[in-house]
A and B are shown apart, each in its own frame.
Chain A
Amino acid sequence: MDLKDLYRDVILDHKRQPRNFGVIENADAHADGHNPLCGDRLTVSLRLNGDRIEDVRFQGEGCAISTASASLMTEAIKGKDRAAIHDLFTRVHTLLTDPGALPSPDLGKLAALSGVREFPARVKCASLCWHTLNAALARSAATVSTE
């Protein structure tokens, strides 16, 4: 167990300067995520163009892992459609939980999260933003389908 594996430079950089931090006014979809165990809270808001995420922001307070993970996520999903995001989520999830998994080369900066699985108590911190994103997307899908 090496702390450097968890707190990599990319993670610390995104913790100190979170990208896409804030809320989108009149967002097409948003959701709140809460991890009561550690008190992490975050909001993800989305601007959608059909199936595609045109803009995304997150806001909240959390640990270095949850903040960096959310920041990295916003960079990774911008411009992608639902199917691509679902695929990305699956690969991030595997990366966070499967001890044997090697980061797939196209994960880009998200691969920096591969140290998290050595710290089981922290996996939830890294996945909170993704679950929140999924909730926002599901809600927008639900809204769309009832319209």
Chain B
Amino acid sequence: MSAQVLHSTPAPVYDVERVRRDFPILTRMVNGKPLVYLDSAASAQRPRRVIEAVDQYETHSHANVHRGVHALSQEATEAFEGARDRVRRFINASSTREIIFVRGTTEGINLVAQSYARSRLGKGDEILITALEHHANIVPWQLVCEQTGATLKVAPIDHRGELIHEELEKLLSPRTKVVAVAHVSNALGTILPVKRIIDAAHAQGAVVVVDGAQAIPHARVDVRALGADFYAFSAHKLYGPTGVGVLYGRESLLAEMPPWQGGGDMIKAVTFERTTYNDLPWKFEAGTPNISGAVGLAAAMDYVDELGIENIAAHEQRLLQVATEALARVPGLQFIGTAAHKASVISFTLDGVHPHDIGTVLDAEGVAVRTGHHCAMPVMDFFRVPATARASFACYNTEDEIGQLVAALRKVREVFG
């Protein structure tokens, strides 16, 4: 190709091959085949930028935070608090006081359950969730119900895996104190109309906790525009490290909430008679936090913003469409979850073949998909399947890989007939 031709060719809007080069793991071979990673909904891979940011921090700046006058402690504190501000900007929170670093979505939801709900709820109160929640947004509320006598209500979904909004509204009443919903379902890909849910819940005086684990890598999340009271997500689904995540909470609510874990960092003064708690957000961050994780998360947010989350989303939606059309032609394939608005997640079954066997055959072809109940056993029960296979697409996946998925599914048929 001549230089002239190169010049006259407009740069592609989204250069997925360039994006792929940012992810070292994608050059790996698996079982002698090039890796086709279609399991980003379980955990996304990290770009070099994140790996290097963590490495740089560990190599040059590590010390404990908030605890020393020495240079390293100050550098570590700056890096950690800098990451907090990076998160604040990413989700458009008003203040870093509203950004609490936690281990992940699960811990964020448990924090709200144990600090907010447990201290306020009692018999006669209700917590409303939906039928498509991840176990992380079910079990913490069951625990609170056991502890307080409150009742758990579940808004139903339809055969496409969409929330039946009218039913949710019917379940809302002044007794509803907490509404906890996924922004995007991990098992089905359904995008929930959270703004509409939040408005309806607020009209009844309930606070809303959004499980943002699957939404954060696919859409611009603006917690203020949404009006969410709490919003939880994990770094590892956003191309960041494991073991770190964020709970956003509205400051007026956080200020009134009791701490949920006690220890260092969350206090101002301790005597044996009395402890004065620290200010927000540190009141909720007992103990030495995951500093390098926060640094990695900030780098992941830089990376995502550089690509542009709208560009990522457009790319993923293209893949979703191509994959949906290609998979629809695979004999015996049933989609589980066919909502009108979906993130780039496709759950499916194959007639006569258990998802586990699909997963093993695909793995032998280098294709990584998730198989199982996806921590959403009630969703599996609803669709009357023991499990599904799930392919999920991220910023680095290609149409070629969809072809390899389909070819690998043909192999499944060859083995099982």
Contacts and interface: CB of A to CB of B under 8 A. Distances in A.
Contacts of B364: 1-3
A64 B386 contact: no
B373 interface: yes
A40 B354 CA distance: 9
Interface stretch (A25-33, A85-93, A105-113, A117-125): A117-125
A61 B386 contact: yes
Nearest to A62: B354
B137 interface: no
B307 interface: no
B334 interface: no
A127 B154 CA distance: 36
B360 A38 contact: no
Given A3-B415, A62-B354, A38 B361 contact: no
Contacts of B380: 39
A40 B85 CA distance: 46
Interface string B387-417: 1000000000000000000000000000111
Given A63-B356, A64-B354, A38 B31 contact: no
B355 interface: yes
A64 B357 contact: yes
Nearest to B353: A64
Interface in A20-45: 36-41
A76 interface: no
Contacts of A122: 356, 360
Interface of A is mostly: mixed
B416 A38 contact: no
A77 interface: no
Interface string B355-375: 111001100100000011100
A38 B380 CA distance: 11
A72 interface: no
A40 B371 CA distance: 12
Which of the listed residues B354, B371, B372 has the most CB atoms from chain A within 10 Å of its own CB? B354
Contacts of B377: 36
A38 B415 contact: no
A65 B357 CA distance: 8
Given A3-B360, A39-B373, A40-B386, 19 more contacts: A1-B31, A2-B364, A7-B416, A12-B415, A12-B416, A36-B373, A38-B354, A38-B355, A38-B356, A38-B371, A38-B372, A40-B354, A62-B354, A63-B355, A63-B357, A64-B353, A64-B354, A65-B356, A121-B360
Interface of B: 31, 353-357, 360-361, 364, 371-373, 377, 380, 385-387, 415-417
A-B complex: 8 closest residue pairs judged by Cβ atoms: A39-B386, A63-B354, A63-B356, A39-B387, A38-B356, A64-B357, A3-B364, A63-B357
